Amino acid sequence: MSRVELIAPCHFGLESVLKKEILDLGYEIVQVEDGRITFAGDESAIARANIFIRTAERIMLKCGSFKAATFDELFEGTKAIAWEKYLTRDAKFWVSKATSNKSALFSPSDIQSIVKKAMVERLKQTYRVSWFTEDGASYPVRVFIFKDIVTIALDTSGVSLHKRGYRKLVGKAPISETLASALIMLMPWHRDRVLVDPFCGSGTFPIEAAMIGAHIAPGMDREFTAQEWSKICDKKIWYNAVDEAHDLIDHDVKMNIQGYDLDGDMVKCAMENARAAGVEQHIHFQQRDVKDLRNPKKYGFIITNPPYGERLEEKEALPELYRTIGESYRNLDDWSMFLITSYTDAEKYIGRKADRNRKIYNGMIKSYFYQFMGPKPPKRRREEA
C-alpha cells in the first residue's frame, strides 16, 4: 500500500488552515470541500498526519467511492471494495457513523447496516469462513453520501484529534484544541511577540500557542486506532513519526504567553493542564479581571473566547462585559485583538468595527472570529557585520 488517500475533516470555515498544514507536511491536496480535505501520500502519511496536524478532527483512510441511489447499489459498491487489503481475518469492524446529504439514501441506520453486511460478504469469500470472531484490532468505518456519491473510509484516529491528552480539567464552555490551534494559526502572531488570553478558562489558547511556538506535535503522546492495523502500516512507521516529532521540539525557545481568568479555580486548572502538556515554563497564569488587563509590551496580541451568554441572566451582563473588553484593549499600545464569540453585538459594545470578521462554527454554534488589527512593529535593522 504505497500511495494512500486520506480524508481530514475540520471546522467549517477553517479549511485554508488545514490545507496549509497538509502542504507543509509535503502531501498532495486531492480535493477541498466544506469542512473536509482529501489528500494523498505514502503509508507514513497516516502516522505523520495523526501526530503532526493540529487542526483536523480526525484522519480517515479512503477505501472507495462510488455512486449509489438504491440500497442494492450501496451493497454492491461496498462489496466491490477490496476489504481484505485492509482488514485482518479477526478484525473487529463496524460502521461508526453514516451521513447523507442531498441523496436518495438518507437513513443512517439502514446505511450502516447495509455497508456492514456487504463488508461481511466480501470477507467471507476472501477468508472462506462463514463467521468472524471480531476479537482483533478495531476498524471503525465511516460512510459519507453526498449527491448519491458514496465515500467509505476507515477512521485511523479513533478518539478525536482534539483530545491531545493534556486537558484533564475543563471549564464551563471550553474551546476545542483543534479550533484553538486553527484560530492561532490564522493570526500573524509569532512566538517572539507577547500573547494574552484574558478569559483563559482551562488554558486551551495559551497551551496550544505554546505548543505551536515550541514545535511540540499535538499527537506525539497519545495513541491511535491505526497503530494496530498490521496490513496497512507497519509499527516502525509510527515509531519513526514519534522520533521525528521529538527531534523537532525547540527546548530553548523563549516565549511570553499569559492567561488570565477571574475564577481562581480555573487558573489552577489551566496551570495543571499546561504541566500535563509540558509547556508550563512558557505560560504565566494569573487570577485577574479583564478590566485590569495591562501590559508594558508593545505590538502584543490578545486571543480569547469570552462569555457569550448561554443563559438569560448572562446575556444581560454582556453589554457591560464587552464594553470593558473594548476599554482594556484601547489601553494596550499598538496591540491586535482576536476574539471568537457568538454574541452578535460584540463590535457595538467593544466600540470598534473589526478589521476582519470570519464566520466559524464552534460545534453547532455559529460564531464570529473578530480580528482587530494593530499596527505592525517596525522592521528590525540588520546588524552590521
Per-residue model confidence as pLDDT tens for the chain (385 residues)? 589 999 999 999 899 999 999 999 999 999 999 999 999 999 999 999 999 999 999 999 999 999 999 999 999 999 999 999 999 999 999 999 999 999 999 999 999 999 999 999 999 999 999 999 999 999 999 999 999 999 999 999 999 999 998 987 676 667 999 999 999 999 999 999 999 999 999 999 999 999 999 999 999 999 999 999 999 989 999 999 999 999 999 999 999 999 999 999 999 999 999 999 999 999 999 999 999 999 999 999 999 999 876 655 577 899 999 999 999 999 998 999 999 999 999 999 999 999 999 999 877 788 999 999 999 998 865 444 3
Parallel, antiparallel or unpaired: strands 365-372 and 195-197: unpaired
Interval 100-118: pLDDT, tens: 999 999 999 999 999 999 9
Q: Where do the CATH 3.40.50.150 domains begin and end in the chain?
A: 177-216+231-372
The residue assigned the cell 505590538 is 299
The label of the residue with cell 511570553 reads 256
Tens of pLDDT along 214-224?
A: 999 999 999 99
Domain with CATH 3.30.2130.30 in the chain: 3-155
The class of domain 3-155 in CATH terms is: alpha beta
The CATH code belonging to domain 177-216+231-372 is 3.40.50.150
User: Residue 114: enclosing H or E segment and its boundaries?
Assistant: helix 108-127
The strands making up 257-261's β-sheet, listed across from edge to edge, are 283-287, 257-261, 195-197, 301-304, 336-341, 365-372, 356-362
The rounded distance, in Å, linking the Cα atoms of 232 and 47 is 11
pLDDT of residue 189: 97
Per this entry, what is the length of the chain?
385
User: How far is 344 from 362, CA to CA, in rounded Å?
Assistant: 14
Predicted TM-score (pTM) of the model is: 0.94
DSSP code at position 10: B
Radius of gyration of the chain (CA): 23
